[in-house]
Structure 1
Amino acid sequence: MPNYWLMKSEPDEVSIDDAIKAPKHTVAWTGVRNYQARNFMRDGMQVGDGVLFYHSSCPEPGIAGIARVASGTRPDPTQFDKTSPYYDAASKPDAPRWLLLDVQAVRKTRLLGLPELRDTPELADMVVLKRGNRLSITPVSEAHWKLITGTLLAGA
C-alpha cells in the first residue's frame, strides 16, 4: 500500500514546471536539512509513494502538481560542496548526515492555494496547515490524498 507525502519546494529552486522539463520528469530532492524530514525520506518514503508537489516561500504557496517517489535515498552531495548553500561542514563522506531521493513529476495541476486548503474543513488536521509547521516534507493521510487528487483537483 503506498504512502502519501507533501513535499515543499521553492519554485525559484525547483518548480513543478522544472520537474516536468527534467529528463524522465525526475529531480533529485536536495537540500533537506531537518532531521524529521530526513527521517521521513529515510524511514517512511518508498518508490511509488504519491507526492503533492507544493510551492512554498513564494507569492502564492500551494499544491502545484502531483508526483511520485522515484528512488530510494542516497547521500545528498550538496552537504559536501563548500560552494552550496546546503553545505554542512560537520557532515563527512564516510558518515553522511543528509539524504536525498528522486521525485518524478506526474502532472501539473491548477494551483491549490493555501487559502483554499484552509477553507476545506475536511483538511483541517492536515499537517501542512497546522500552526507552526515548517517541515519541508510531511505525511498526508489517504483520506486527504483522495480528497485533494480526486475532488479538489479533478480535471485540473
Structure 2
Amino acid sequence: MSDAIDRSGLRPKFWKTIPMAKLSRPEWEALCDGCGKCCLNKLEDEDTGEVALTRVACRLLDNESCLCARYEVRHKFVPECIVLTPKTIADNMYWLPQTCAYRLVAEGRDLYPWHPLLSGDPDSPHTAGVTMRGQTLSEVDVNDDEWEDNIIEEPT
C-alpha cells in the first residue's frame, strides 16, 4: 500500500494503517467527526465512575456547526479544556463518546460509514443524526445545580 498523500494532505485510510502517535496534525484533526459530544459537560458518578452526558455544552460550542467557535485559542477562554493527543487518549477514553473516531481507532475499530473520511461529506454526521446540532444549552445559561436535569442519552 502506498503512503501517497492526496490533495487534502491525508494519506489514504490513514486511521487503519498509521499508528495514532505517527499521524500528522491534519490527519489527527480529520479524525474529528464534528459531533460536538466531547464538548458537552459530563457528570461522573463518584461511586461507579459512570459518565453521563448532559445537553449543557461548553460556552464555546457552536450549537449549529457542533464545532468549537474558538478552537485554536480555546484555552484562553476555557483553561480546563482537555487537549486530546495520542499521549492523552488512554487517560480520557472513559468520557469520549461511543461513536468518537479517536476512541474507535484507539480501540482498533473502524469508523462509522457516516464519518466524513468515509462519506466524503462533512455534513454526513449531521444527516445521520449523530451530532448535537440544535440540541445543546450553553453552560453560561444553565446553573451547575441544573445539569442533572439535562442528562441525555448519547445519540448513536
Give the TM-score range, shorter chain: under 0.3
Structure-2-length-normalised TM-score: 0.24
In terms of fraction of residues, the more strand-rich structure is: 1
Structure-1-length-normalised TM-score: 0.24
Higher CA-based Rg: 2
